[in-house]
Amino acid sequence: MGLSDSVFIVKENTVYPTELARGPWDPNAQHGGAPAGLFAQLIERAAEPQRVVRLTVELLRPVPLCPLTYHVTGAAGRSVGRWTASLSAGDREVARAYALTGRIDPEGVILPRADEGEPNDQLPFPENGPAFRIPGMPEQRSFYCTAMEARLVTGSVTEPGPAAVWFRLRHPLTNGDPLTPMGRAAASADFGNGISWVLPFDQYVYTNADLTVSLFRMPMGEWIGVDARTRIDLPGIGVTSTKLYDRQGLVGFAHQTLVVRRR
């Protein structure tokens, strides 16, 4: 771990997280968006020229800020591929991912005109919007405060309820690799439960145990819009449902399962 321009440094089958991967709950653990984006990058690199269109990340335990070994297995067929990836600290697996990849053929589908079918869902982009800070998050060099830029669209930093925020990675996710569309989407989608909070941070911890991102269109540009709603009903369990956008419109959806406990 150390100062770097990228969130991770990847060498052979080892990943070295930097301080830019740090999460808000434990100074020695990563933010969930960091390994989510990393899994997308690793799988997409293995599956080229196919793209990841569905990614499920299971956070088995806090992902530490220490060297991690990774493994990616799978195969790409003519149209789709199925992949599994894991991150381990020593001999202990800390996170795994399952992905579906698809062959992108821009000439293979005839899209309806803008006035046919359902209208394209849009999320306004605040050109000069206020910087967004989640209440209770420590201000330190980390994935949220340093690696990400965030602009609030709807909702409030001080009131519970649904919220929409645009996110942009300020730093490369991995050294030497351009950021992939799913890498950008997964890294941003993990913020859904934080921006649409319904219980106060100073009284409850509600971390996500997983994240599933499904894209029907590859997002374009640096920014990902995250429009999220959190519901908590069953004792100790919650769900966050999120719409994902680029500046042209809706690109997909994300879901998180939350584990809730009192501090």
Helices (H) and strands (E) in the chain, counts: 3, 13
Distance of alpha carbon 8 from alpha carbon 22, whole angstroms: 11
Using alpha carbons, list the distances in angstroms from residue 106 to 186, 220, 260: 22, 14, 42
| pTM, to two decimals | 0.90
Per-residue pLDDT band for 245 (boundaries 50, 70, 90) equals very high
Give the 3-state secondary structure of residue 88.
strand
Q: Which domains does the chain have, with CATH numbers?
A: 8-103+131-262 (2.40.160.210)
pLDDT > 70 in the chain, percent = 89
- The pLDDT value recorded for residue 202 is 78
For 116, which DSSP code? S
Structure tokens at 144: 């949220």
Angle between helix 33-47 and 181-189 (nearest 10): 160
Quickly list H helices, the chain: 33-47, 181-189, 192-195
Distance of alpha carbon 190 from alpha carbon 83, whole angstroms: 20
**pLDDT at residue 118 tops 70:** no
- The pLDDT value recorded for residue 5 is 87
- Enumerate residues 6+ apart whose C-beta is below 8 A from 48: none
Give the 3-state secondary structure of residue 181.
helix
Tell me phi and psi for residue 240, to 5 degrees.
-115, 125
Cβ–Cβ < 8 Å for 79, 47: no
Distance of alpha carbon 147 from alpha carbon 257, whole angstroms: 24
pLDDT > 90 in the chain, percent = 65
| pLDDT tens digits, 35-78 | 999 999 999 999 999 999 999 999 999 999 999 999 999 998 88
Q: Tell which phi-psi region holds residue 5, choosing left (phi > 0), alpha (psi between -120 and 50) or beta.
A: alpha
- The pLDDT value recorded for residue 36 is 97
Between 22 and 140, the more confident residue is 22
